[in-house]
Amino acid sequence: MTLTNATVRRKKGHSPDIADPLAARPALLLAWYDRHRRVLPWRPPAGQRPDPYAVWLSEIMLQQTGVKTVGPYFEKFLARWPDVAALGRASLDDVLRMWAGLGYYSRARNLHACAVSVLRDHGGVFPDTEEGLRSLPGIGPYTSAAIAAIAFDRRTMPVDGNIERVVSRLFTVEEPLPQAKPVIQQLAATLLGTSRAGDEKSRAGDSAQALMDLGATICTPKKPACSLCPLNEGCSARQRGDQESFPRKAAKKAGELRRGAAFVVTRGDELLVRSRPEKGLLGGMTEVPGSDWRAAQEDKAALEQAPQLGGVTRWHRKVGVVTHVFTHFPLELVVYTAHVPARARAPKGMRWVPIATLEDEALPNVMRKVIAHGIGV
């Protein structure tokens, strides 16, 4: 897929003008955005310069997570740490606790590492170029482009899922994702707008956010409101009537089911927990002790991995299982419970925490499900 239509016009000596639907798209998109832009916690009113810290924080949180879920977390983080210097001085444990429930916890570790780097290496000021931003922990090609465009108006087009959908429909990109990403990136860049002739830099951030808003509110995955779209004239997928079939996607391989056991141990009003290793899945998060998570693991093998505790004569298996789906695999956990005497010591690497303060622990959602299943909290 290439820029066929535009290329043909140039070869024929065609000069794009406002009557050309392709040439008019950036201006139409910005005009629509000026009227219909979403009100978001991290987006300042029209005409005000975005705060790079707010843009960065929101972009990290929005990775693989929806706007409705992110909103309360963003406001909570901003209230606790109003700038990158404050976040850079925080402890990783505090950041993980505040992040708990948002998922994909490597983002929280990278968030903290990035704040530390900006504070230590850049005097608390974010670099204002894609190259500089990409040198920071946790910031890849998309995030660096998004921050550069939105916070610093650099002339670049970040491409998220919403933009992929809009562009793939506009140009009927037949190649499936993820192979189509370079083509979609090239096509999306043709939609960058300016505020006046010859101004090559201005409104790049607005163009990107306009496409994001368009995909989120009009060019939706199912039943897109094409009659309301400012770019509906000349939209190839709309003309064909197969909008919902874009973007094309290669079939995903379903991850193999993994199974394991979780051990919910109480000592009076306390719960036995431990911290996961810093690296790997759910790194640094709090969990109840458990077995390995393995494909086709038998319950007997999982039970043999129970923590060694004085006073436990038998484990009580709870009826049912806890299910959770990670990005690459589904998980089923059998939950066993036990009560131990008041003087029972925690095994090495574990600790007792008051059940009443569990909300302050960095518990991932899967562990909250386990605890709720085990003791109803």
Residue by residue, DSSP assigns 288-320 as --B---EET--HHHHHTT----TT---PEEPSS
Residue listed under structure tokens 């070869």: 11
| Continuous segment of H or E residues that includes residue 264 | strand 258-267
Q: Which residues contact 125 (CB under 8 A, 6 or more apart)?
A: 118
Distance CA 107, CA 64 (A): 10
| Known catalytic membership, residue 59 | yes
Residue by residue, DSSP assigns 73-131 as HHHHHHHH--SHHHHHHS-HHHHHHHHTTS--THHHHHHHHHHHHHHHHSTT---SSHH
Q: Which amino acid is at 24?
A: A
Q: Which of 59, 130, 164, 287 is catalytic?
A: 59
Distance CA 183, CA 150 (A): 22
Tell me the backbone φ, ψ of residue 163, rounded to 5 degrees. -70, -40
**DSSP summary character for residue 332:** E
Q: Taking each helix axis as running N to C, give the angle between helix 92-99 and helix 106-121, from 0 to 180 degrees, rounded to the nearest 10.
A: 140
Q: What are the beta bridge partners of residue 332?
A: 259, 323
Which among 300, 368, 296, 290 is positioned nearest to 335, based on CA atoms? Answer: 290
Angle at alpha carbon of residue 16, lines to 36 and 212, rounded to 5°: 25
Catalytic residues: 59
